[in-house]
Chain A
Amino acid sequence: MQKPLLQVKNLTTQFFLIKQNITAVDGICFELSQGEILAIVGESGCGKSVTSLSIMNLIEPPGKISSESEVLFKNRNLLVLDEKTISSIRGSEIAMIFQEPSASFNLLFKIGYQIGESLRIHKQLKKDTALREAIELLKKVKISEADKRVHDYPFQLSGGMLQRVMIALALSCSPSLLVADEPTTALDVTIQAQILRLLKELSLNYNMAILYITHDLALIDGFANNVMIMYAGRILEYCGISEIYAKPLHPYTKDLLNSIPMMGYFKDEQILFSIKGSVPELVNLPPGCKYAPRCSEVFDRCHKQEPSLFNLENRKVRCWLYNKEKK
Chain B
Amino acid sequence: MKIKKKLFHGTSLEIPYIKFKKKKFGVICFYILLVLYVSIPFEGFIAPYGPNTKFKSKSYQPPHRIQLLHNDELIGPFVYEYEMVNPYFKKYMVNKNVIHKLGFFVKGEPYNLLFFIPTDIHLFGTVDGSPFYLFGADRLGRDLFSRIIYGAKISLTIGFFGALLSLFIGILLGGFSGYIGGMTDWFIMRTCETVILLPTFYLFLFLRAIMPTDISPALKFFYIMMILSVPGAFGGARYIRNWVLSLKNTDYVIAAKIGGISSLKIILKHIIPQIRNLIILNIMLGIPGFVLGETGLSFLNLGITEPSVSWGMLMNSAMDINILIQYPWILFPAIAIICTVFCFFIFGYAVKDALDPKAEV
Contacts and interface: CB of A to CB of B under 8 A. Distances in A.
A272 to B, nearest CB: 26
Main secondary structure of the interface of A (DSSP, over half): loop
A232 to B, nearest CB: 24
B140 interface: no
Q: How large is the interface on A (under 10, 10 to 19, 20 to 34, 35 or more residues)?
A: under 10
A18 B14 CA distance: 10
B272 to A, nearest CB: 28
A19 B15 CA distance: 8
B102 to A, nearest CB: 49
Contacts of A18: 15, 18-19, 361
Contacts of B14: 19
A64 to B, nearest CB: 15
Interface in A1-32: 18-19
Contacts of B19: 18
A19 B10 CA distance: 12
Interface residues of B, number: 5
Nearest to B360: A61
Contacts of B361: 18
Main secondary structure of the interface of B (DSSP, over half): helix
A19 B18 CA distance: 9
B17 to A, nearest CB: 10
A19 B14 CA distance: 10
Nearest to A17: B15
B231 to A, nearest CB: 36
A178 B14 CA distance: 41
A18 B8 CA distance: 15
A257 to B, nearest CB: 32
Interface in A214-250: none
B18 to A, nearest CB: 6
Contacts of A19: 14-15, 18
B161 to A, nearest CB: 35
Contacts of B18: 18-19
A63 to B, nearest CB: 14
B90 to A, nearest CB: 59
A120 B200 CA distance: 51
A19 B6 CA distance: 13
Interface string B1-29: 00000000000001100110000000000
B41 to A, nearest CB: 37
B224 to A, nearest CB: 43
A164 to B, nearest CB: 30
A209 to B, nearest CB: 34
Nearest to A19: B15
A18 B15 CA distance: 7
A26 B166 CA distance: 53
A20 to B, nearest CB: 11
Contacts of B15: 18-19
Nearest to B16: A18
B250 to A, nearest CB: 19
A284 to B, nearest CB: 16
A37 to B, nearest CB: 36
Interface string B143-166: 000000000000000000000000
A18 B18 CA distance: 8
A22 to B, nearest CB: 15
A19 B19 CA distance: 11
Nearest to A61: B360
B361 to A, nearest CB: 7
Interface string B326-361: 000000000000000000000000000000000001
A101 B14 CA distance: 35
B230 to A, nearest CB: 39
A66 to B, nearest CB: 23
A97 B206 CA distance: 60
B63 to A, nearest CB: 48
7 contacts: A18-B15, A18-B18, A18-B19, A18-B361, A19-B14, A19-B15, A19-B18
Interface of B: 14-15, 18-19, 361
The 6 residue pairs across chains A and B that have the minimum distance between CB atoms: A18-B15, A18-B18, A19-B15, A18-B19, A18-B361, A19-B18
